[in-house]
Amino acid sequence: MASIRVLIADDHRLFAEALEVILAGDERIAVVGHASDGGEAVRLANDLHPDVVLMDISMPVMDGIEAAQAIRKTDGDTCILMLTGSNSRTDVDRARQAGAAGYVTKDRIASELIDAIVEIAAR
């Protein structure tokens, strides 16, 4: 099986590094890049064509919602998995409207992240 190419977009460097460590433990997943703001996420997604973008909702330059919309507009094949500390219904609705295929709260990452990536990449 080919690796699922993942771009991590989160402005907290240590959190992004922790995500990469979690993902490195699964041979189905390959991290292809890191973005520290929404604008960089859009540029890297356009350059790298990942299967999945792990997108923090709250980032500088362009928030994750705006970045997800921009990525989905230019590349309808890339899936967006929103990551956030918030569990608010408003954020979930905004993420879905922006084209996100899924939503994982940061407190559930260890238990749900890999399954969520594999699931949305298979769509």
Q: In the chain, where are the structural domains located?
A: 64-115
Identify the residue whose tokens are 């604008």.
39
Q: What is the pLDDT averaged over residues 59-84?
A: 91
Dist. CA 45–CA 85, nearest whole Å: 23
| pLDDT tens digits for range 75-121 | 888 999 998 877 778 888 888 888 899 888 878 777 788 889 999 99
User: CATH says 64-115 is which class?
Assistant: alpha beta
Spatial distance between the Cα atoms of 15 and 1, rounded to a whole number of angstroms: 28
pLDDT of residue 101: 92
Q: What is the mean pLDDT of residues 16-39?
A: 94
Does residue 2 surpass a pLDDT of 80?
no
